[in-house]
Structure 1
Amino acid sequence: MSRVHDMGGRFGDGAVVPEPEGEVFHTDWHGRALALTLAAGSLGKWNIDVSRHARECLAPKDYTAFSYYEKWIGGLAALLVDTGVLDRDELAGQTQAQISALAVKKLSADQVAAVLARGGPADRQSDIAQAFQVGDAVVTRRIAENALVSGGHTRLPTYAAGARGTILRYHGTHILPDSNAHGLGEAPEPLYAVVFPASELWQHPEHPKDEVVLDLWQSYLAPV
């Protein structure tokens, strides 16, 4: 099954237009959309993988019509309702505003810089042994879907499914998004940077000698 958000390497969507040098947000509300998403994330009701999957679950007609930050706001609205932070009437401004019990978790202005600087490290200890070394030839799963949850979140793009590449770097063990996005635990496993020739990914690449590097989890890969 194709996924509307899995657009990498797809033909027919037009050229990639680089952003103007130094321009971060096109309009003021884009910055506010980012701030709202980060602030709501500090409530601790979901993780980054759940947040990404919420955007992927937007209705196809909305996903294709929305701009980048409209997708962020659409995903955030769904998360706020799905996790019980707000109900639909509150979100629509149709009920009297109440102070939430989650207000104690809000970030004060003097906390923001430190929280953003700290980030959300995803490296974890794991009992799963490293299966590949730098220079090893590997092949990705032929089907790019989440192997744990039907229609679930995954970081293996469709255009790289069944492709042969080479291990470029070992990143250590990291949270598996396929599990973490669905309440199944962090399930950390080895993560690798894998390099693929363009000719392996596309039938008629414009520049066959180009290479694409993807960060891929061990369960996505098999030895050649």
Structure 2
Amino acid sequence: MKLQHTLGGLEGLGPVWTETRVFVEEWEKGIFGIHTAMMALSPQLPLPETSSVFKTVWTWADLRKGAESMNPFDYFKYRYYEKWLGGISGYFVANGYITADELEAKTAEYLTDPDKPLPEGGAPEIDARIVQYLVDGDSPKRDVDPKPAFAVGDTVLIKNVPTVEHTRLPGFLRNKTGVVTEVYPGAYVYLTDTGADGIGDAIEKAMPVYCVKFDPADLWPGNAESNFSLYADLYAAYVAEPVPAAAAA
């Protein structure tokens, strides 16, 4: 959620694409399947061991990091699953599963002969783990007591955290104040391993999540409609100390 994902309130960005189909082309289903298998085989999950050679952590945040690391102008050129493909390919190269030269050669091979059969792979225990992952899911909620620092009614300041590789904080909320309207029960992990907002190794660092209400007139002065509020669910890592009542007024 870097530059290309923090565009709230900007004007003149051109038409909005309103495609409603989940998959526009057949190959996109394969990319979704690869991502799902990587999620299921990621070693931090409490699932049975398999013979898969995939042994590194992969989360939704890793997928997003691959897309968000693109030049913003390139980002806007590619479709949704094309960005997924780029992020996944970069991850496999970075983690030593394939070299960039091998990937280029394999790409050229199939571009020359698109009907060439794909290699066989997989094993029953790998398939079973993937199916179990799809049944169980992968919730970020953890059953711990995080002892929230803020309560409903607190006026809070939203931090301007350093965006290293990935962030879940929209740019238009940074350095803005809002009011906590709900403290969600339980605690939630960030679902990324490193490089997120300066949090560091946070894959199991569960934290509270708050629903914070904002006045659009504060977010976009002179350019917001009246009589409505904007609500955002925010990790505790984004919320600073409560603003004193006198300062908030």
**TM-score tier after normalising by the smaller chain length:** 0.7 to 0.9
Give the unaligned 5+ runs of structure 2: 43-55, 110-117, 244-249
**1:25 paired residue number:** 23
SS of residue in 2 equivalent to 1:192: strand
CA distance in 2, matches of 1:204, 1:106: 59
Which digits, 9 at most, give the CA deviation of each residue in 1:105-158, with x for residues without a partner?
Answer: 9842x66554224221112356753111123221201x2434xxxx33221111
Q: 1:57 to 1:155 in 2, by over 3 A?
A: same
**1:135 paired residue number:** 153
> How do 1:29-178 residues align onto structure 2 when only pairs under 5 Å count?
29-44=27-42, 45=56, 46-94=58-106, 107-108=126-127, 112=130, 114-124=132-142, 128-141=146-159, 143-146=160-163, 151-171=164-184, 172-176=186-190
**1:208 paired residue number:** 226
Task: Name which one, 1 or 2, has greater alpha-carbon Rg.
Answer: 2
Over the matched positions of the two proteins, sequence identity in percent amounts to: 28
**Contact 1:145 1:152 (8 Å CA) reproduced:** no
CA RMSD of aligned residues (A): 3.2
Q: TM-score, normalised by structure 2?
A: 0.70
SS of residue in 1 equivalent to 2:218: helix
Q: 1:85 to 1:41 in 2, by over 3 A?
A: farther
Q: Identify the match of residue 211 of structure 2 among 190, 193, 199.
A: 193
**Contact 2:145 2:187 (8 Å CA) reproduced:** no
Q: TM-score, normalised by structure 1?
A: 0.77
Give the unaligned 5+ runs of structure 1: none
